[in-house]
Chain A
Amino acid sequence: MSVAAKTSTTRSARASRSRLALRRQVTFWLMIAPAVLLFSVIMIGPLINMFRVSTLDWRGIVKPSTFVGLKNYLRLFQDVHFYRALANTGIHLAVTTLVVLPVSFMLGFFLSQRPAGYRFLRTVFFIPGMLSAPALAMIFLGLYLPDGIINHYLRLIGLDNLVHVWLADRGTALGAVIAVDLWGGIGWYTVLFFASLSNVSKELYEAAQIDGASYWTLIWRIAFPISIDFFGVMVVLLFLWVLMGSAQNVLLLTGGGPGDSSLTLGFYLYRQAFANRFLGYSQTIGVFIFAVGILGTLLVRRITRPRFIS
């Protein structure tokens, strides 16, 4: 075959591949178009509206509003409560992520080995996921009350000096709220990690064990790298939950207090919108949370991107 013929064949093959790729792209977009379109229509309008509302001075839903440009954003960065909420949210995020995910991953690994009674344990771990937020808050109120379960047992074992008014003490209020997320989160993420790790071939672990690997090694040197993509998704979900969804536990347990000691960004947004009725300003906080959510998510995905795929 001549060089010209070879070149022609190569070009033809490339064109064919290109057409195929294009067809696949078109098919792909056609298939997902209805869902994307629907989701976009529902989401984009309100999203744009959130940015718009953040530029308004709007003091109640039956009140008129006026355009104030970036005034709410200037106020945000001069607002001492905002910085306290930001710091508390940072603590909440750090503690929750660093405790819930590693512990859940190890428990998920344990369950994936299908020890005796693992079905029962799986159900137990899943229970927090079946409780509504108010029900969960009531359980923890019972623990935290001045004469609640925690103080009762502390007194019983002679640790009276550790007795606290847990939700009313500035030193413990935020921790008390975080503990609810830890309790609920560990069980929930354990079940999710269990589902993911159940798909990992047992031969991998057996081979590693023959080579003398400990369980610690199995978990963090074998199971974790294999599941890092899934782990990253879990980090993102937990990150977004704490960032945006934590307001409910704060509302139900501490109301952000004492002072600002358990104020989080999500709750601060709620308070500005529904208690103080600064609707425009509340959406400025919303835009900030949104931006942090996007940046955080992209960062987490970059860090947890699988590196062994060529």
Chain B
Amino acid sequence: MNKTKLSSIWIILILAALLLGACTPASPTANPVAPTQPQDQPATADTQAPAAAPTQPSAEQPSGERVTLNLISNWDAGSDPKGKVLQTIAQDFMAANPDVEIKIEIVPDTDMATKVETSFLAQQEPDIILHNWLGPSKDWLADGVVVPLTPYIKEWGLEGKFKESALSDFSVDGELAALPIEGFNWPIWYNMDILEKAGVAAIPTTWDELTDAAQKIRAAGFQPFVIGGKDWTGGDWFLTVITAALGNEQAADLFANGGFSQNADAKAFVEAFVKMRDAGVFADNVEGLEFESMNAMFFEGKAGMVHGGSWSYAELPKELDGKVQLGGIPLPPNAKGATKPFWYSSFEAKGFWVTRNGSAKLDTIQKFAQFFFQDKYMASFVEQTAMVHPFTNLEYDASVLSPLFVQSLALDVDTVEHASVAWAPTNVFDAWYDVTANAFVPGTSAEDILKAMDDLYQ
């Protein structure tokens, strides 16, 4: 036997096993068909997308039979106050409807799209998804993963319940993809104790003032502006600020098509960002920080400023009670999209999606949706979790609200779009965070950042 040849065969096979075991995604030819509708999508590509979702409800389960609704969410009752409210709703619903069981599966937001889409391919997707309207989920309606809810708002008695802007945030081409549950706002938090110790008289409103404040804070022995340069926290700050710098019209064009390197305003913005970064505005090692380490640094009183979302209002430690003032993001130079400090605020944080599988249980889902969206439960979300709500008229006990939440309601700021969420093709949504993560790395030049931005659109 030729040992060399035999060895080579085995080496190739073992390599293949190692590599494929870890890396190979499912074959693109896997092509599930919506159970209630024949696949009729034209085969214009190498592999076909799953069939479009049925626009009408399919046959409901036989009456009298016990029904299970599978719900997937990142709200974990063990660690997230919103999860506790969700759990209460599910338990109350099951008590009122003994023939229905609600099974809640917890999946981190970052894994949600993969989890939903792989289960969709296996025709095992959950019936209801509680998830945001970002990146991949924006295509779920077109891809047939979820069914449009436009016809059901009225049928389910929910007409007039939601703010128009909230419905608009979850709509595509006039079709409602999900019922809005949670909104957010995203200001800058200032630790006024630290600012005072550093001799910063007022919270900064421009990048020049921000740079000046940061240097004073550093001199006083604190970290200045902490943000998660490595993850979405820094990325979303960058992608919000660039909208304020460019204005909606330019940002929409650039984020849809690329061409940043050739755009004078984009170039000026990135150069200003690099200058600010190199002036030490951000906390040390900002390029290695992420959501948890960012919050930890601010909550422990080590940093003067943080870009924190409304989802964290309820988490403010007691030691910082009364010491934190909210403000808008300071204006970048020559901003075309904002006239005063601004924030990114929308209702895209959480929606109630009904999947293709769920469309086979629409009667039960209707019952659950009507139960879920009752004012008393939505008020619980607001009162217990400082949730920004998407409803036209919701009564809740304002005396129990988080002080930061109350402060945010009175904030006088401009609202800008998140450039990538609003205009970038969904297939580059996540890749934008690679670009922004590198932008926070000291030494990355403006040219490198602009090139990386354009490379996404090749």
Given A64-B45, A66-B45, A276-B431, residue A245 in contact with residue B22 (CB < 8 A): yes
A298 to B7, CA, bound (A): 9
Contacting A at CB under 8 A, from B37-71, are 44-50
Q: How many residues of B contact A (CB 8 A)?
A: 65
A44 to B293, CA, bound (A): 45
- Contact in complex: A62, B438 (CB < 8 Å): no
Given A47-B16, A64-B48, A276-B434, residue A247 in contact with residue B22 (CB < 8 A): yes
Given A273-B23, A277-B136, A282-B25, residue A62 in contact with residue B15 (CB < 8 A): no
In-complex Cβ contact of A173 among B47, B139, B145, B288 (8 A):
B288
How many whole Å from B134's CB to the nearest CB in chain A? 13
A40 to B452, CA, bound (A): 41
A270 to B139, CA, bound (A): 22
In-complex Cβ contact of B441 among A43, A258, A266, A278 (8 A):
A258
Q: Is the interface of B mostly helix, strand, loop or mixed?
A: helix
B residues near A28, Cβ cutoff 8 Å:
1
**Nearest B residue to A259, CB-CB:** B441
A36 to B30, CA, bound (A): 27
In-complex Cβ contact of A259 among B19, B44, B428, B437 (8 A):
B437
**Nearest B residue to A263, CB-CB:** B434
A248 to B16, CA, bound (A): 18
- Contact in complex: B285, A168 (CB < 8 Å): yes
B444 CB–A CB distance under 8 Å: yes
A293 CB–B CB distance under 8 Å: yes
A residues near B27, Cβ cutoff 8 Å:
49, 53
Produce 1/0 per residue, A9-20, CB < 8 A to B.
000000000000
In-complex Cβ contact of B427 among A59, A282, A294, A297 (8 A):
A59
In-complex Cβ contact of A257 among B16, B18, B288 (8 A):
B288
Produce 1/0 per residue, A270-299, CB < 8 A to B.
110111111100110010011001100110
How many whole Å from A100's CB to the nearest CB in chain B? 18
Q: Is the interface of A mostly helix, strand, loop or mixed?
A: helix
How many whole Å from A27's CB to the nearest CB in chain B? 11
- Contact in complex: A286, B438 (CB < 8 Å): no
A294 to B431, CA, bound (A): 30
A residues near B145, Cβ cutoff 8 Å:
62
Given A56-B28, A62-B143, residue A290 in contact with residue B16 (CB < 8 A): yes
- Contact in complex: A255, B230 (CB < 8 Å): yes
Contacting B at CB under 8 A, from A58-91, are 58-67, 75, 79-81
B94 CB–A CB distance under 8 Å: no
- Contact in complex: A64, B46 (CB < 8 Å): yes
How many whole Å from B124's CB to the nearest CB in chain A? 13
Q: How many residues of A contact B (CB 8 A)?
A: 67
- Contact in complex: A43, B25 (CB < 8 Å): no
- Contact in complex: B28, A65 (CB < 8 Å): yes
A286 to B20, CA, bound (A): 9
- Contact in complex: A62, B23 (CB < 8 Å): no
* Stretch of B114-122, B159-167, B181-189, B398-406 contacting A (4+ beta carbons < 8 Å): B114-122
- Contact in complex: A298, B45 (CB < 8 Å): no
A192 CB–B CB distance under 8 Å: no
B residues near A273, Cβ cutoff 8 Å:
23, 25
Contacting A at CB under 8 A, from B213-270, are 229-231
- Contact in complex: A165, B117 (CB < 8 Å): no
On A, residues with C-beta under 8 Å from B are 25, 28, 36, 39-40, 43-44, 46-47, 49-50, 53, 56, 58-67, 75, 79-81, 146, 165, 167-170, 173, 236, 240, 244-245, 247, 254-255, 257-261, 266, 269-271, 273-279, 282-283, 286, 289-290, 293-294, 297-298, 301
Instruction: Give 4 closest A-B pairs by Cβ, nearest first.
Output: A168-B288, A259-B441, A258-B287, A258-B288
Beyond the given A258-B437, A283-B25, could you list 19 further A-B residue pairs with CB under 8 A, ordered by the A residue number?
A43-B13, A49-B24, A53-B28, A60-B427, A61-B28, A61-B121, A62-B49, A63-B143, A75-B458, A170-B442, A257-B230, A258-B288, A271-B434, A275-B110, A276-B431, A290-B16, A290-B19, A293-B15, A293-B19
On B, residues with C-beta under 8 Å from A are 1, 7-9, 11-20, 22-28, 30, 44-50, 110, 113-114, 117-118, 120-121, 136, 139, 143-145, 229-231, 284-285, 287-290, 293, 427-428, 430-431, 434, 437-438, 440-442, 444, 452, 455, 458
